[in-house]
Amino acid sequence: MTVVSCPIEIVGVGPEAAQLLSELHARCFASGWSSISMQHLLHLPTTAAWLASNAAPCGFVVFSRVPPEAEIITIGTLPARRNTQIAQRLLSHAFTQLRDERIELIHLEVREGNTAAVGLYLKLGFREVGRRPNYYSVGTEREDARLFRLQL
Ligand SMILES: CC(C)(COP(=O)(O)OP(=O)(O)OC[C@H]1O[C@@H](n2cnc3c(N)ncnc32)[C@H](O)[C@@H]1OP(=O)(O)O)[C@@H](O)C(=O)NCCC(=O)NCCS
């Protein structure tokens, strides 16, 4: 894949960013989360979130963490900004910060047909540790969830 990466700024965000993250989420996923749901999530003491911007916000990631483990709850890059290593740089930044919080293990779950996300996680060194058969519904079909883990 040809990569033209752009300079981005990555900052940690909290409940004040709920509306923005909910708008970004809605532009990245078929079914969005309301600003209220995002606000509840960002208010939890176990939540950690980062926002990537390049002139305008372009990506985000939200974790739930209780040392020594954390889980990626959601991650997205705006469609027009994909394949410029925004998600990879967001995760690398987040992992550095999480290591400082004594996080040693990252978990996540991904739909097996989500080739972009699966490719991202494999590139970052995640390994599959299990599956949930027929976990997701995609139209009239079912797809497995793949469970991944990364030792930081
Ligand atoms: C998954 C997602 C976050 C990737 O974001 P991105 O910023 O485009 O990813 P990056 O540019 O950082 O890609 C990093 C690596 O991931 C892999 N990757 C990214 N997109 C890919 C694709 N379409 N197919 C295969 N691998 C892909 C590649 O290994 C890539 O490295 P490379 O560019 O050196 O080949 C983005 O596609 C997205 O927002 N999808 C919709 C929301 C979603 O599905 N989130 C994940 C839920 S589990």
Do residues 65 and 104 touch, judged by C-beta distance below 8 A?
no
CA distances from 26 to 21, 32, 59, 104, 147 (A): 9, 4, 12, 30, 24
Q: How far does the chain reach from its first CA to its final CA, in angstroms?
A: 26
Condensed to tens digits (0 to 9), the pLDDT of residues 122-151 reads: 999 999 999 999 999 988 999 999 999 999
Q: What is the pLDDT of residue 31?
A: 84
The full set of domain ranges for the chain reads: 1-102, 104-152
pLDDT band at 32 (very low <50, low <70, confident <90, very high): confident
The backbone torsions φ and ψ at residue 140, rounded to the nearest 5 degrees and listed phi first, read -95, 0
d(CA 79, CA 59): 10
Identify the residue whose C-alpha is closest to ligand 1 atom 8: 82
d(CA 26, CA 31): 7
Answer whether 80 contacts ligand 1 (Cβ < 6 A): no
Condensed to tens digits (0 to 9), the pLDDT of residues 48-107 reads: 999 999 999 999 999 999 999 999 999 999 999 999 999 999 999 999 999 999 999 999
Answer whether 99 contacts ligand 1 (Cβ < 6 A): no
**pTM of structure:** 0.96
> Which residues participate in catalysis according to the annotation?
109, 121
CATH 3.30.1360.40 is held by the domain 1-102: no
Answer whether 54 contacts ligand 1 (Cβ < 6 A): no
Q: What is the pLDDT of residue 102?
A: 97
